[in-house]
Structure 1
Amino acid sequence: MDIHARTDRLAQLLEQRLDIRGAGFETKLRRAGRLLPRHLRRDGDRLVEAMRLARHPRLGRQLDQVRLEKAANAIEHYLLNFDAWDRRRGIAVSVSTSILTNILIVIALGLCLALWRGLI
């Protein structure tokens, strides 16, 4: 497995699926932040560290290729199955729910105040 080719593919997927811009995989992974689950951020950090170690001739041979392949596969699987519309829909539902809850609280407080003042 060529670590640099694999991280370039993951960087491309980060840009396509999550709309994250940046110079390379490391920058895009950092900008992704909480858009990725914690275990995938950890896997991404492993890949970034492996990219650094792969530049060194002796340390590059000591990398755990199986573990790095699993990490890259997990990130790729998540990004290929990521649904941006579903995420946006979830955000819209969450915002509208909080607004509606606040409106209902204000109406209830208004009714309680009207009852207390004897207007109703």
Structure 2
Amino acid sequence: MDNGLNHKIAEISTLMRSQLRIRGRDLHVQYRRAGRLLPRAVRRDILYLLDTSALGDNPKLARMINHDKISRAHRNIVDYLQGLDPKAQMWTRILNITASIAFALIVAFAVTLFVLVQRGFI
């Protein structure tokens, strides 16, 4: 396998660990754990890099590797991952949880009020 490809895969793995907080022994495990946290284009690029790394193990198949496409895929993945803000994602997650709890409380209050009105207590 090409040493430059190994370096690119290691860089992406490190970025996924730092930006998305996804742990795993290699990029393939991290890719599976990331799931829909990544856009479709980024997932496709990661799969291309993983498939290409498997081709690089065989000397005859290594000639089929398109280095321009590898560079493009690497650049797209790195640009996306570096553009993420882990703190903003955390706050968004906290706000979403808080909003869903508030919505559930409002619905429970409205149902309780409706039942009380229907029974004639209010």
Q: Which of 34, 37, 40 is residue 39 of structure 2 equivalent to?
A: 37
Q: Which amino acid aligns with 1:111?
A: L
> C-alpha separation between the residues in 1 aligned to 2:73 and 2:54?
16
Q: Which string of whole-angstrom CA distances, capped at 9 and with x for unpartnered residues, describes residues 40-63 of structure 1?
A: 111100000000001111211211
Q: Number of matched residues?
A: 120
> In the TM superposition, what are the counterparts of 1:34-73 in structure 2 within 5 Å?
34-73=36-75
TM-score, L = length of structure 1: 0.90
Provide the aligned C-alpha RMSD in A. 1.5
> In the TM superposition, what are the counterparts of 1:57-96 in structure 2 within 5 Å?
57-96=59-98
Residue 25 of structure 1: CA displacement?
A: 1.9
Q: What residue number does 1:101 align with?
A: 103
> C-alpha separation between the residues in 1 aligned to 2:56 and 2:102?
53
Q: What residue number does 1:114 align with?
A: 116
Structure 2 gap segments, 5+ residues each: none
Structure 1 gap segments, 5+ residues each: none
Identical-residue share of aligned pairs (%): 28
> C-alpha separation between the residues in 2 aligned to 1:112 and 1:60?
70
Q: Moved runs in structure 1, 4+ residues, more than 4 A?
A: none
Q: Is structure 2 residue 13 aligned with structure 1 residue 11? A: yes
> C-alpha separation between the residues in 1 aligned to 2:113 and 2:23?
50
Q: Which amino acid aligns with 2:46?
A: G
